[in-house]
Amino acid sequence: MMLLRRPRRGAHRSRAGALRLAAVAVLAAAALAPALTGAGAQTTKRKPATHTVVMEGTSFEPAALTVTLGDSIEWVNKDFFPHTATASDAFDSGIVPAGKSWTHTPAEKGEASYACTLHPTMKGTLRVK
């Protein structure tokens, strides 16, 4: 008859406990690594973008645009006559001659409907999030 030896009491628990402790240490190190190296801050910072709205054929293209606060919008006049991009309380390009452009960087979040004061059927919407 063969006798099976029972493991020492607590030996199994101590190995399992050591493995759990090692796993927790590895996970904690992985979670803290971006904060310690500054890598997390670099991935969340976004460089401001420049968006283009074309004034052509007496319309704005795109007619609706959503941007992030800090981004710039450049209105480019590709028509043979002047236009404006005017939102009563938000911005006013003044007259943008044919072949020229005007750039605006919104200072706050919100939505503004705008139009060309010279061609009132030209309408657009700018959303800043």
pLDDT in tens, 50-102: 999 999 999 999 999 999 999 999 999 999 999 999 998 899 999 999 999 99
Mean pLDDT of the chain: 84
Is the same domain home to 69 and 37?
no
The conformational region for residue 110 under phi > 0 = left, psi -120 to 50 = alpha, else beta, is left
81 and 65 in one domain?
Answer: yes
pLDDT band at 122 (very low <50, low <70, confident <90, very high): very high
Tokens of 15: 């190995």
Q: Say if residue 113's pLDDT is above 90.
A: yes
User: For residue 89, is it within any domain?
Assistant: yes
User: Percent of the chain at pLDDT above 90?
Assistant: 63
Task: Return the ∠ at Cα 67 (arms to 120 and 94), rounded to 5°.
Answer: 35
Cβ atoms 79, 55 nearer than 8 A: yes
pTM above 0.75, yes or no: no
Confirm whether 2 is domain-assigned.
no
Identify the domain containing residue 30 by its residue range.
12-44
Counted domains in the chain: 2
* Helix, strand or coil, per DSSP, at residue 2: coil
pLDDT score at 20: 72
Specify whether 81 is located in the same domain as 102. Answer: yes
Task: Give the Cα separation of 110 and 7 in Å (integer).
Answer: 70
